[in-house]
């Protein structure tokens, strides 16, 4: 065999080894081919492209309900409707609160059944997480949720595609109040009002320690700044849109 042919054979063998090693790594670590080879990464909706001074606030409901009624009273006081994302075990534990939230005109979203990291689940398991919570909510308010917020803010292409197949818009946030951390009401108010822009989706929790303190201040400040506060379902674009690399939903 000539030197030229031998070198060519060596290169081919090395290339095959590299490809084999790459495929093995993908299988071992559960990586997706579309991510490895550069296909677009799917994103949920973090915020919305709009010229209107319109924003949405949301509450994740997974633990406790002692602050829920005060939250609803404060929202009524300021004439604000918003979105509550609920986990199935919260729905089952506090059905009266679910009904009260709905009856007061607020939007209810799906926040999974068991609050898992859905990127670790199969398509079948994600579908079950969605469906079980959906059934629990429908059983109380007779209305199917169309918004889903992934627990821990964790997502990948497969989870987003599965949610969309099941009729859900996947919702994140671009303003995190950090109300679950050990910070003061004043710090929460400053953080939210300083970072809010038209089209923002703001994250709160229904069991946050200082919610009765920070919520009136935030609502008052946002309204004084000319913002209209609406449920997420009224803020997002339902058809003919794309999501840019920052997670902003933009009309086509």
3-state secondary structure the chain: CCHHHHHHHHHHHHHHHHHHHHHHHHHHHCCCHHHHCCCCCCCCECEECCCCCEEEEEEEECCCCCCHHHHHHHHHHCCCCCEEEECHHHHHHCHHHHHHHHHCCCEEEECCCCCCCHHHCCHHHHHHHHHHHHHHHHHHHCCCCCEECCHHHCCCHHHHHHHHHCCCEEECCCEECCCCCCCCHHHHHHHHHHHCCCCCEEEEECCCCCHHHHHHHHHHHHHHCCCEEECHHHHCCCCCEEECCCCEEEEC
Residues with catalytic roles: 60, 205
Please tell me the predicted confidence (pLDDT) of residue 13: 54
State the first-to-last Cα distance of the chain, in angstroms, to the nearest integer.
60
Average pLDDT over residues 7-22: 58
Please tell me the predicted confidence (pLDDT) of residue 131: 98
CA-CA-CA-CA torsion sign (65, 202, 55, 127): negative
Over residues 217-241, the pLDDT tens digits come to 999 999 999 999 999 999 999 999 9
pLDDT at 213 over 80: yes
Average pLDDT over residues 40-58: 96
pLDDT at 9 over 50: yes
Domain locations in the chain? 3-31, 47-251
Over residues 96-113, the pLDDT tens digits come to 999 999 999 999 999 999
Phi, then psi, of 107 in degrees rounded to 5: -90, 140
Please tell me the predicted confidence (pLDDT) of residue 34: 43
Judge contact between 243 and 249, C-beta under 8 A: yes
Please tell me the predicted confidence (pLDDT) of residue 241: 97
Cross-strand partners of 56: 201, 230
Over residues 115-152, the pLDDT tens digits come to 999 999 999 999 999 999 999 999 999 999 999 999 99
CATH class of the domain whose range is 47-251: alpha beta
Please tell me the predicted confidence (pLDDT) of residue 25: 47
Percent of the chain with pLDDT over 70: 85
CA-CA-CA-CA torsion sign (231, 217, 246, 124): negative
Q: What pTM was computed for the model?
A: 0.83
Averaged pLDDT score across all residues of the chain: 90
**Count of alpha carbons within 13 Å of 212, Cβ hemisphere only?**
7
């Amino acid at each position: 065999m000539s030197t030229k042919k031998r070198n060519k054979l060596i290169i081919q063998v090395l290339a095959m080894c590299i490809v084999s090693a790459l495929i093995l790594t993908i299988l071992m670590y559960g990586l997706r081919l579309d991510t490895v080879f550069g296909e677009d990464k799917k994103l949920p909706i973090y915020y919305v492209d709009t010229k209107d001074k319109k924003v949405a606030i949301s509450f994740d409901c997974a633990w406790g309900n002692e602050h829920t009624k005060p939250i609803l009273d404060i929202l009524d006081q300021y004439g604000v409707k918003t979105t509550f994302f609920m986990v199935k075990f919260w729905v089952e534990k506090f059905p009266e609160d679910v009904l009260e939230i709905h009856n007061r005109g607020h939007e209810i979203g799906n926040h999974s059944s068991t609050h898992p990291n859905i990127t670790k689940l199969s398509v079948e398991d994600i579908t079950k997480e969605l469906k079980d919570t959906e059934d629990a909510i429908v059983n109380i308010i007779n209305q199917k949720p169309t918004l889903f917020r992934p627990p821990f803010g964790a997502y990948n292409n497969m989870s987003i595609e599965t949610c969309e197949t099941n009729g859900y818009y996947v919702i994140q946030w671009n303003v995190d109040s950090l109300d679950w951390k050990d910070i003061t009401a004043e710090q929460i108010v400053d953080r939210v009002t300083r970072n809010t822009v038209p089209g923002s989706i703001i994250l709160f929790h229904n069991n946050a320690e200082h919610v009765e303190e920070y919520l009136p201040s935030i609502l008052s400040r946002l309204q004084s700044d000319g913002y209209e506060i609406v449920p997420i379902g009224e803020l997002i674009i339902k058809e003919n849109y794309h999501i840019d690399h920052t997670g902003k939903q933009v009309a086509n």
